[in-house]
Amino acid sequence: MTKDTPQSVTEQELLKLEVRLEELVSSIERLKEENRSLRDQQDSMVTERASLIEKNEMARNRVEAMINRLKAMEQGV
């Protein structure tokens, strides 16, 4: 019986390790997917930011052009 007890404990320990390893592998896979998703979101936000900066610059140029036309009209009067 003494020989069976250590073997049983070892098998239980191995089973616990196996379960823990499966949990860790699952966590790693979940984190990889989350990381990929966050990188995709970041890429999307960078693209959106660049677009908004471009639109802002276009709006600023249009406003400046209107102001310059108004000043020209004012000086022409």
The pLDDT tens digits along the chain (77 residues) read 445 555 677 989 999 999 999 999 999 999 999 999 999 999 999 999 999 999 999 999 999 999 999 999 999 86
What's the pLDDT at 76? 83
What's the pLDDT at 9? 74
DSSP state of 2: T
User: In sequence order, which ranges of 1-77 are alpha helices (DSSP H)?
Assistant: 4-76
Domain edges within the chain: 1-77
24/28 Cα distance (integer angstroms): 6
Stated pTM of the model:
0.64
What's the pLDDT at 1? 43
